[in-house]
Amino acid sequence: MTPWCISRRLLTSAVLPMAMAVLPLPAVAQGVDVERLQDESVRWVQEYLRVNTMNPPGNEIAGARFLAAIFEREGIPYEIAESAEGRGNIWARLEGGDEPALILLHHIDVVPADERYWTTDPLSGAIRDGLIYGRGALDTKALGIVQLAGFLALHRSGVALERDVIYMATADEEAGGFFGAGWLVENRPDIFENVGFLINEGGGGTMVDGVASFGVEVTQKVPYWLRLTTRGEPGHGSRPNPSSAVTELIAALDRLRQHEFPARVVPAVDVMFKGIAPGFSEPWRTRFADLDRAIREPGVLAELQAYQAGLHALTRNTCSTTRLMGSDKINVVPPQANAEIDCRLLPDQDPEEWLAELANVLGTEVDIEVLMGFSPAVSTTDTDLYRTLAAVTDRHYPDADFVPQVAGGFTDSHFFRDLGIVSYGYSPMAPPQEDGSGVHGNDERVSVENVRRGVAMMVEIMSRFAAERPISEE
Ligand SMILES: [Zn+2]
């Protein structure tokens, strides 16, 4: 058992008894019928999946209106803002005390689905064998509804809140979030005053062979999407010069291919690997327990890349060459050639320093244009919110691992980490690992059981973290 595991056990046992205690019902509290919320949530997931918010074009306003109708019925004020025609964002606020506010965030848009490869209509929301099918079931409409249930539980309970809780659903995450979370941060900074915490997609449970493990995403690799340009003398393909825009570009990309960005283990990655190590068989168990030592052994990094490319990517900055553009005529030497490369930086990497390293590798003939790049940020795990997520997860999944995670991909959370908001990727659902292939893939689905359990857990999380006293269940 690692020191980390010991501290988690101590932590959960310290937190649990308080929450299990039955406190007297405050006079204003109505109590919350969790079973009713679970029934409603299953129906809402189905209905939400039927709202077509495939991005492009997104048309998230349809999803915002769906959520607005629920707020109307509950008597909760909300706001809708369109960042562009049809690009709807919606948020609602429950007011509480002065503690830093919490945002429950999910994105309304989903990626397109190719119906030919599905066994159901991707917009059906149909339930088959206890599973709800539809594009967005896991990414992230079910999470949005589970969060909604926690939010409504606070409202229905009538219990006074220690902090504001803001429910937020945004556009455009699947295309970078610039019409959604990024737009709100730019254009509605008022919403984020005194916000301290945020729960978003990007982490949560996975079930492997009947054993659940949970991760809370606390940071992510930082994308740098770059366009490289070379220029040269244009001409006829029958009369080549010693070099051209295209040959210069190829040479630069080959230098990039051969360049090894140094491997190093940043603290968040070290904690994550120590946490997941017990779930692996040897030699990985020992290697992950001391990753810093393991990656110095010859051949281990290459072995890790072949074994788990996603985990390997957490040990270094990476670049994938993904787009190439030269002449559009076979017999014309073009004046210019371009490549686009998808680079991901370790969460503590200074981007300027790294760009200088890259420029050095590529050479002076190459112009580098940053198409997209974020600033790096890590959310601390030393918060009451993190401890609450750990305690509630432990109560429902007592045998599950619970580890802070570094994501290789990115979510909207970076917009909020940039504002200093502690942002966690966490979902109180544990779908089987094989269902993960449905995210952006075929037959995306979530079980009714996961939605129901998720609702119960989210109600508990809200009750412990946001309510002045635990809300009672009817
Ligand atoms: Zn997503």
| pLDDT for the residue numbered 15 | 34
Cα(53)–Cα(169) distance, rounded to whole angstroms?
Answer: 12
Say whether pLDDT at 79 is over 80: yes
Which residues neighbour 297 within 8 Å (Cβ) at sequence distance 6 or greater? Answer: none
DSSP-based three-state secondary structure for 242: coil
Q: What is the average pLDDT value for the chain, to the nearest integer?
A: 92
* 10-19 residue pLDDT tens: 233 333 333 3
* 368-412 residue pLDDT tens: 999 999 887 899 999 999 999 999 999 999 999 999 999 998 999
- Spacing, Cα 252 to ligand 1 middle (Å): 34
- Spacing, Cα 250 to ligand 1 middle (Å): 34
- Please check whether the domain covering 3-220+377-465 is classified as CATH 3.90.230.10: no
Residue labelled with tokens 């062979």: 209
DSSP-based three-state secondary structure for 287: helix
- Spacing, Cα 138 to ligand 1 middle (Å): 8
- Spacing, Cα 429 to ligand 1 middle (Å): 15
Q: How many helices (H) and strands (E) does the chain have?
A: 15, 18
- Spacing, Cα 410 to ligand 1 middle (Å): 9
Strand partners, 54: 110
| pLDDT for the residue numbered 473 | 75
- Spacing, Cα 143 to ligand 1 middle (Å): 10
Neighbours of ion ligand 1 (CB under 5 A): 139-140, 201
The token pair at 419 is: 């504002």
Sequence ranges of the domains in the chain = 3-220+377-465, 222-373
Neighbour-count burial for 131-164, b at 16+ CB within 10 Å, e otherwise: bbbbbbbbbbbbbbbbbbbbbbbbbbbebebbbb
Say whether pLDDT at 215 is over 90: yes
pTM, two decimals, is 0.86
- Spacing, Cα 111 to ligand 1 middle (Å): 9
Q: What is the dihedral of CA 71, 75, 76, 77, to 10 degrees?
A: 100
- Spacing, Cα 462 to ligand 1 middle (Å): 22
Cα(391)–Cα(301) distance, rounded to whole angstroms?
Answer: 35
With CA atoms as reference, report the closest residue to 408 among 304, 288, 269, 302: 269
Fold of the domain spanning 222-373:
Alpha-Beta Plaits (3.30.70)
| pLDDT for the residue numbered 31 | 81
Which long-range contacts does 188-195 make (Cβ < 8 Å, 24+ apart)?
A: 188/81, 191/91, 191/166, 192/416, 192/419, 192/421, 194/98, 194/100, 194/101, 194/164, 195/100, 195/101, 195/102, 195/103, 195/164, 195/166, 195/416, 195/419, 195/421
- Spacing, Cα 290 to ligand 1 middle (Å): 31
- Spacing, Cα 202 to ligand 1 middle (Å): 7
E-assigned strand segments in 95-221: 99-107, 127-128, 131-133, 163-170, 195-200, 204-208, 211-220
- Spacing, Cα 81 to ligand 1 middle (Å): 20
Instruction: Classify residue 462 as exposed, middle or buried by CB count within 10 Å of its CB (0-12, 13-18, 19+).
Output: buried
Query: Which amino acid, 124?
Result: S
Query: What does 99-136 look like in DSSP terms, one character per residue?
Result: EEEEEEEEE--B----GGG-SS-TT---EETTEEESTT
Average confidence (pLDDT) over 340-360:
95
- Spacing, Cα 446 to ligand 1 middle (Å): 14
Q: Minimum mean pLDDT among 23-32, 90-99, 151-160: which range?
A: 23-32
| pLDDT for the residue numbered 17 | 35
Query: Which amino acid, 203?
Result: G
Residue 10: in which H helix or E strand, if any? helix 3-20
| pLDDT for the residue numbered 30 | 61
Cα(79)–Cα(89) distance, rounded to whole angstroms?
Answer: 8
- Spacing, Cα 147 to ligand 1 middle (Å): 15
CA angle 14, 449, 12 (to 5 degrees): 5
- Spacing, Cα 153 to ligand 1 middle (Å): 24
Residue labelled with tokens 């959604």: 180
| pLDDT for the residue numbered 375 | 82
- Spacing, Cα 86 to ligand 1 middle (Å): 19
- Spacing, Cα 225 to ligand 1 middle (Å): 19
Q: How far is CA 300 from each of CA 107, 273, 303, 331, 414, rounded to the nearest angstrom? A: 38, 15, 5, 46, 31
- Spacing, Cα 172 to ligand 1 middle (Å): 10
Query: Which amino acid, 150?
Result: G
- Spacing, Cα 220 to ligand 1 middle (Å): 14
- Spacing, Cα 139 to ligand 1 middle (Å): 5
Whether 52 and 141 have beta carbons less than 8 Å apart is answered as: no
The token pair at 247 is: 């040959």
Average confidence (pLDDT) over 440-466:
96
| pLDDT for the residue numbered 32 | 92
Which residues neighbour 355 within 8 Å (Cβ) at sequence distance 6 or greater? Answer: 224, 368, 370
Say whether pLDDT at 21 is over 70: no
